[in-house]
Amino acid sequence: MENFEYFEPKTLKEAVGLLVKYKRGARLLAGGTDLMIEMKGGYVKPKYMINLKKIKGLDKISFGKKEGLRIGALVTWSTLLSSKPINQYYPVLRETASLIGCPQIRNIGTIGGNICHASPSADSAPALMIYEAQCVVAGPGRERIIPIEEIFAGVQKISLKQGEILTGFHIPTPDTESKGCYLKFSPRKAMDLPIVGVGVLVTASNGTFQDVKIALGAVAPTPIRARRAESFLFGKPVNDQSIRKAAEEAMMESKPITDMRASREYRLGLVKELTYRAITLSISKNITQE
Amino acid sequence: MKEFDFVGKDIPRVDAVDKATGNAKFTVDLSFPNMLHAKLLRSPLPHAKILNIDTRRAEKLPGVKAVITGKDTPYVFGVSHFDQTPLQTEKVRHVGDAVAAVAAIDVDIAEEALRLIRVDYEPLPAVFDAVEAMKPGAPVIHEGKERNIAAHASYDLGDVEEAFQKSDHVFEDHFETQRVAHVCPEPHNCIAVWDSSGKLTFYYCSQAPDLTRLQLAKAFGVPESKVRVITHNVGGGFGSRATSKFSMDFAAIVLAKKTGRPVKIEYTRDEEFVYATFRNKFIMDVKTGVTKDGMILGRQVTTISDTGAYCDYGPVNVNVGGAMAGTLYRFMNYKFDGYSVYTNLPYGGAMRGLGNPAVHYAMETQISMIAERLGIDPLDMRLKNAVHTGDETVSGAILKSCGLTECLEAVAEKIGWREKRANPKPNRGIGIACGVHFTGVRLSPGIDADFAGANLIVNDDGSVNLATSCTEIGSGSNTVYAQMAAEVLGVEPNKINVVFGDTENCPMGWGSRASRNTAVGGMAVKLAAEDARKQILSAAAEKMGIPPDNVDMELDIKKGMVYVKGTPSRGMTIADVVKFNRYRKDGQAIMAKAHWDAPSELADKVTGRGNFSSAFSFGAKAIEVEVDPGTGKVNVLKVVASQDVGAAINPLGINCQIEGAVHMGLGYALMEEIVFDQKGEVVNDHLIDYKILTPLDMPPIESIIVESMDPIGPFGAKGVGEMATIGTPEAVSAAVRDAAGVWVTDLPLTSEKVWMALKKKTERR
Amino acid sequence: MKKSQIKIKVNGEWYELTVPNKKTLLDVIREDLHLTGTKKMCDTGECGGCTVIMGGMVVNSCIVLAVDANGKEITTIENLSQIGKLHPIQEEFIDKGAIQCGFCTPGMILSAKALLDQNPNPTELEVKAAISGNFCRCTGYVRIVNAILSAAERLRSVNDEGI
B752 touches chain A (CB under 8 A): yes
Neighbours of B224 (CB within 10 A): 14
A8 touches chain B (CB under 8 A): no
Are B229 and B103 within one domain? yes
* Within-domain flag for B66: yes
pLDDT band (50, 70, 90) for residue A218: very high
Pick the last residue of a domain from B551, B574, B597: B597
- Angle (CA) B678-B679-B681 rounded to 5° is 105
Q: Rounded distance, CA B391 to CA B402, Å? A: 9
Q: Which residues are paired to B121 by β-bridges?
A: B50
- From chain A, the residues in CB contact with B695 under 8 A are 190
Distance of CA C157 to the CA centre of its chain: 23
**Best residue in A34, A76, A104 for a mutation probing chain C (most C CBs within 10 Å):** A104
CATH number at residue B465: 3.30.365.10
Are B618 and B654 within one domain? yes
Are C128 and C106 within one domain? yes
B634 to chain A, minimum CA–CA distance in Å? 9
Are B478 and B584 within one domain? yes
* Within-domain flag for B5: no
Neighbours of B355 (CB within 10 A): 32
C72 touches chain A (CB under 8 A): no
Kind and range of the H or E element at B610? Answer: none
Structural domain including C127 reads: 88-160
The partner residue sitting opposite A191, judged by closest CB among B631, B670, B694, is B694
Q: Are A168 and A72 in contact (CB under 8 A)?
A: yes
B21 to chain C, minimum CA–CA distance in Å? 6
Q: Which residues are paired to B103 by β-bridges?
A: B38, B66
- From chain A, the residues in CB contact with C115 under 8 A are 103
Residue B623, pLDDT score: 98
Q: Domain locations in chain A? A: 5-51, 61-171, 179-289
Q: Rounded distance, CA B240 to CA B275, Å? A: 10
Q: Which chains touch A (3 or more CB pairs under 8 A)?
A: B, C
Kind and range of the H or E element at B423? Answer: none
pLDDT at A288 over 50: no
Residue A285, pLDDT score: 83
The partner residue sitting opposite C63, judged by closest CB among A36, A51, A190, is A36
* Within-domain flag for B189: yes
* Within-domain flag for B354: yes
| Residue closest to B729 by CA, chosen among B276, B414, B286, B356 | B356
Q: Domain tally for chain C?
A: 2
| Residues near A82 by beta carbon (within 8 Å), at least 6 away in sequence | none
Pick the last residue of a domain from B597, B632, B663: B597
Residue B445, pLDDT score: 67
Residue B410 one-letter amino acid: A
A158 to chain B, minimum CA–CA distance in Å? 23
> Does the domain made of A5-51 have the CATH classification 3.30.950.10?
no
Are B628 and B705 within one domain? yes
Are B366 and B509 within one domain? no
* Integer-rounded Cα radius of gyration of chain B: 27
- Binary contact (C77, B21; C-beta < 8 A): yes
Pick the last residue of a domain from C24, C44, C79: C79
* Within-domain flag for B152: no
Q: Rounded distance, CA B552 to CA B334, Å? A: 51
Are C68 and C117 within one domain? no
Pairing of strands B451-458, B591-597: antiparallel
Q: Are B761 and B741 in contact (CB under 8 A)?
A: yes
CATH number at residue C143: 1.10.150.120
B690 to chain A, minimum CA–CA distance in Å? 10
CATH number at residue C68: 3.10.20.30
Q: Domain tally for chain B?
A: 3
- From chain A, the residues in CB contact with C4 under 8 A are 6
* Within-domain flag for B81: yes
Q: Rounded distance, CA B225 to CA B212, Å? A: 13
- Binary contact (C104, B183; C-beta < 8 A): no
Neighbours of A143 (CB within 10 A): 11
- Looking at chain C, which residue has its C-alpha nearest residue A105? C59
| Residues near A61 by beta carbon (within 8 Å), at least 6 away in sequence | A69, A70, A71, A72, A75, A79, A80, A83, A85, A86
Residue B201, pLDDT score: 97
Cis amide linkage into residue B748, ω under 30° from 0: yes
Q: Are B570 and B541 in contact (CB under 8 A)?
A: no
pLDDT at C163 over 50: no
Are B350 and B366 within one domain? yes
- From chain B, the residues in CB contact with C33 under 8 A are none
Is the ipTM, as predicted for this complex, more than 0.90? yes
Are B340 and B483 within one domain? no
Structural domain including B71 reads: 31-124+185-236+241-275
- Long-range contacts formed by A153-159: CB under 8 A, 24+ apart: A153/A118, A153/A222, A154/A118, A154/A221, A154/A222, A155/A118, A155/A119, A155/A120, A155/A221, A155/A222, A156/A117, A156/A118, A156/A119, A157/A118, A158/A115, A158/A116, A158/A118
Q: Are C130 and C112 in contact (CB under 8 A)?
A: yes
Average pLDDT, chain A: 95
Largest CA distance in chain A: 62
Residue B497, burial from CB neighbour count under 10 angstroms (0-12, 13-18, 19+): middle
Neighbours of B688 (CB within 10 A): 17
Q: Rounded distance, CA B347 to CA B126, Å? A: 14
C136 touches chain B (CB under 8 A): yes
- From chain C, the residues in CB contact with B24 under 8 A are 102
Share of chain A above pLDDT 90, in %: 96
Pick the last residue of a domain from C31, C60, C79: C79
Neighbours of B588 (CB within 10 A): 12
Whether A5-51 and A179-289 share one fold: the answer is no
B385 to chain A, minimum CA–CA distance in Å? 37
Are C73 and C7 within one domain? yes
Class of domain A179-289: alpha beta
B687 touches chain A (CB under 8 A): yes
- How many Cβ pairs closer than 8 A exist between chain B and C? 157
Are B655 and B730 within one domain? yes
* Integer-rounded Cα radius of gyration of chain A: 19
B635 touches chain A (CB under 8 A): no
Alpha helices in B65-177 (DSSP H): 107-115, 130-133, 160-166
pLDDT band (50, 70, 90) for residue A58: very high
B404-415 helix and B378-385 helix, angle to the nearest 10 degrees:
170
Distance of CA B135 to the CA centre of its chain: 32
Residue B2, pLDDT score: 83
Are C35 and C7 within one domain? yes
A188 touches chain B (CB under 8 A): yes
- Looking at chain A, which residue has its C-alpha nearest residue B670? A187
pTM: predicted TM-score of the whole model, two decimal places: 0.97
CA separation, residue B470 to residues A191, B210, C38 (Å) = 36, 9, 27
Provide DSSP, B432-464.
Answer: EEEEEEESS---STT----EEEEEEEE-TTS-E
For A119-147, how does the pLDDT look when each residue is reduced to its tens digit (9 = 90+)?
A: 999 999 999 999 999 999 999 999 999 99
Q: Rounded distance, CA C25 to CA B336, Å? A: 55
**Best residue in B631, B674, B683, B694 for a mutation probing chain A (most A CBs within 10 Å):** B631
Neighbours of B492 (CB within 10 A): 16
For C68-93, how does the pLDDT look when each residue is reduced to its tens digit (9 = 90+)?
A: 999 999 999 999 987 779 999 999 99
* Within-domain flag for B539: yes
Decide which of B455 and A286 is more confident: B455
C:62-101 residues touching chain B, CB 8 A cutoff: 76-78, 80-81, 86, 90, 93-95, 97, 99-101
C124 touches chain A (CB under 8 A): no
Residue A247, pLDDT score: 98
In this prediction, the residues of chain B whose per-residue pLDDT falls under 70 are 244-245, 445
Pick the last residue of a domain from B550, B569, B597: B597
For residue B657, the SS3 value is: helix
A61-171 has which CATH code? 3.30.465.10
Q: Are B190 and B36 in contact (CB under 8 A)?
A: no
